[in-house]
Amino acid sequence: MEDYAQIEKEYVMRSWSCQADVKVNMIEKADGIYFWDKSGKRYSDFSSQLNSTSCGHNVKEINDGIVEQLNKYAYIGPGLGSEARAKLAKMVADIAGPNYKRTFFSSSGTEANEAAVKAAKWFTGKYKIISRYQSYHGATGIAMMLTGDPRRYPNEPGYPGILHGPDCYCYRCPFKMEYPSCDIMCARYIGDMIRFEAKETVAAVIAEPIVGSNGIIPPVKEYFTMLREICDQYEVLLIADEVMTGFGRTGKWLAIEHYDFKPDIITTAKNLSATYVPLGGTTYSKKVSDYFEDHWFVEGHTYAGHPLACAAGVATINYMKKNKLVENAAKMEKVMEKRLNEIKADHKSVGDVRGKGLFWGVELIKNTKTKEQAGTREEKFMRGHVPIPAKVAGECMKNGVFFLQMVSTLLFAPPLNITEQQIHEALDVVDKALEISDKEVVK
Residue range 304-325, pLDDT digits in tens: 999 999 999 999 999 999 999 9
- Report which of 165, 157, 163, 161 is spatially closest to residue 127, judged by C-alpha positions: 161
- Whole-angstrom CA distances from 119 to 204, 216, 297, 399 are 10, 27, 8, 46
Is residue 285 a contact partner of residue 99, using CB atoms and an 8 Å limit?
yes
Residue range 211-226, pLDDT digits in tens: 999 999 999 999 999 9
Identify the burial level of 95 via C-beta atoms within 10 angstroms of its C-beta, where 0-12 means exposed, 13-18 middle and 19 or more buried.
Answer: buried
* pLDDT higher than threshold 90 for residue 382: no
* pLDDT higher than threshold 90 for residue 151: no
Write the DSSP string, 159-220: -TTEEEE----GGG-TT---TTTT-SHHHHHHHHHHHHH-TTTEEEEEE-SSB-TTT-BPPP
Q: Say if strands 27-31 and 34-37 run parallel, antiparallel, or are unpaired.
A: antiparallel
pLDDT given for residue 230 in this prediction: 99
Residue 306 CA from chain centroid, whole number: 22
- Whole-angstrom CA distances from 295 to 122, 300, 305 are 9, 15, 20
Q: Where are the domains of the chain?
A: 4-58+324-438, 61-322
pLDDT given for residue 40 in this prediction: 98
- Rg for the chain (alpha carbons), in Å? 21
Q: Which residues, including other chains, have CB under 8 Å from residue 232's CB and lie 6 or more apart?
A: none
Q: Which CATH class name applies to 4-58+324-438?
A: alpha beta
202 DSSP β-pair partners: 128
Identify the burial level of 40 via C-beta atoms within 10 angstroms of its C-beta, where 0-12 means exposed, 13-18 middle and 19 or more buried.
Answer: exposed
pLDDT given for residue 375 in this prediction: 87
Distance (Å, whole) CA 375 – CA 381: 11
Residue range 87-123, pLDDT digits in tens: 999 999 999 999 999 999 999 999 999 999 999 999 9
pLDDT given for residue 383 in this prediction: 66
| % of the chain with per-residue pLDDT over 90 | 93
pLDDT given for residue 387 in this prediction: 86
CB burial string 234-255: b at 16+ within 10 A, e below? bebbbbbbbbbbbbbbbbbbbb
Neighbour count for residue 169 (Cβ, 10 Å): 19
Whether the bond into 209 is cis, omega within 30 of 0: no
Is residue 351 a contact partner of residue 364, using CB atoms and an 8 Å limit?
yes
Write the DSSP string, 317-354: HHHHHHTTHHHHHHHHHHHHHHHHHHHHHH-TTEEEEE
CATH code of domain 61-322: 3.40.640.10
* pLDDT higher than threshold 80 for residue 378: no
Distance (Å, whole) CA 146 – CA 159: 10
Is residue 76 a contact partner of residue 82, using CB atoms and an 8 Å limit?
yes
Residue range 17-69, pLDDT digits in tens: 889 989 999 999 999 999 999 999 999 999 999 999 999 999 999 999 999 99
Distance (Å, whole) CA 307 – CA 69: 7
Is 293 in a helix, a strand, or coil? Answer: coil
pLDDT given for residue 8 in this prediction: 97
Write the DSSP string, 244-278: TTTTTTTSSSSTHHHHT---SEEEE-GGGTTTSS-
- Report which of 193, 265, 191 is spatially closest to residue 223, judged by C-alpha positions: 191
- Whole-angstrom CA distances from 266 to 65, 109, 148, 207, 403 are 25, 11, 19, 10, 27
Strand order in the sheet with 42-45: 27-31, 34-37, 42-45, 401-402
Q: Which residue type does 319 have? A: Y
Neighbour count for residue 102 (Cβ, 10 Å): 18
